[in-house]
Amino acid sequence: MLTNIIKLLVNFIFFYFAVGWLRSRDNNNLLKAVDIVLHFIFLLVFIQLVVYHYAYNFRLLFGSTSSGQASALYNLDLYFWGIEDKNMFGARIAMLGFPYIIMPIIRFGKFSWWRTCWIFLLAYMSLSRTPIVALLIGVFFLLWFFSNFKWRLIVVVVMAITLPFILQKIIRVDNLTASNDGMGVRLVYWEAFFQNFKEISLLGNGFMSAPLFLAEHAEFYRGEPHIHNTFLTSYLELGIVGLVSYCLFLFYFLMECKLSLMNNKFWLVAFLPLLSIMMILYSGYDNDIVIYLTMIYLLGSLKIIDFKNIRMGL
């Protein structure tokens, strides 16, 4: 509990001063440096995933049948980069990967196909559905906003053709409600929240109270420290004050982004992947969210983005 309280304070203090610092300076050189760092980060991510898959004889490279089987890939003895948890590792690929995809649009006015394919490959290799869903949402709207009718039609046709494979092999839709599936676990936790809503105090049950609540009310409990939904966790732990405060924090940050530069389409595209991940994973005080918000502020406040003149390239 003490660790998470410290994390909460450090993350938001860092966020406040980081955004203030970014707002007061020319960030072009910083953006170039961040881009180089992200190249290096994703190279290490690739090496880590190859090590995992090699130890598993690449048996899961064509998909896994359940979350449990996918999690078995993450051998703690082979861990050296990122994080050893499948869902968190996958989420971080998306949280850093989507700004990485956006980066050449800001720097060069170009949508990079190799970056996009590279991040999707890493997300696929992670065996986590979270980054795939978040990235699909973000990239779809990104392409939709700057594409003409021909490219929009191509995007829709490609997604329609690949949808069965995505649903079957990646999303594993057949197992979504199974008790040994990550999404099935989430559904059980959310059901416990809503069925026992009256037992939650209007002021919340207390910081880090989700484990006790789930152990008592959920059909089964796998040991997670949160309810797999940032907003539900905020209400469960800190009540109406915590939920409203968190929503106002996101709302006013979005307003601050709009005041810095009226990149309305960009801010919408940038927030959608974050919200999709927050709905199924984070507790709310995680540093991943703070880093993501800081990075999109860095990207979106640099210059007005003319979506009509974005070109496609390798």
Q: Which two tokens stand for residue 129?
A: 């559905």
298, 24 contact by CB (below 8 A): no
Please tell me the predicted confidence (pLDDT) of residue 177. Answer: 60
Please tell me the predicted confidence (pLDDT) of residue 172. Answer: 64
Task: Residue 230: count other Cβ atoms within 10 Å of its Cβ.
Answer: 24
Please tell me the predicted confidence (pLDDT) of residue 37. Answer: 96
Please tell me the predicted confidence (pLDDT) of residue 224. Answer: 83
Angle at 172 between CA 168 and CA 176, to 5 degrees: 135
Give the single-character DSSP code of 313.
Answer: E
155, 147 contact by CB (below 8 A): yes
Domain residue spans in the chain?
2-313
Compute the 3-state secondary structure of the chain and give helix, strand, coil in percent, each to the nearest 5: 70, 0, 25
How confident is the chain (314 residues) per 10-residue block, as mean pLDDT? 86 92 91 95 96 91 75 89 86 93 92 93 89 88 82 80 70 61 81 92 90 90 85 92 93 90 88 89 80 93 84 81
How buried is 292 (Cβ within 10 angstroms: 0-12 exposed, 13-18 middle, 19+ buried)?
buried
Helix (H/G/I), strand (E/B), else coil: 221: coil
Residue 111: strand pairing partners? 312
Each residue of 44-81: pLDDT tens digit? 999 999 999 999 889 888 777 677 778 888 988 999 98
What is the gyration radius of the CA atoms in the chain, in angstroms?
20
93, 292 contact by CB (below 8 A): no
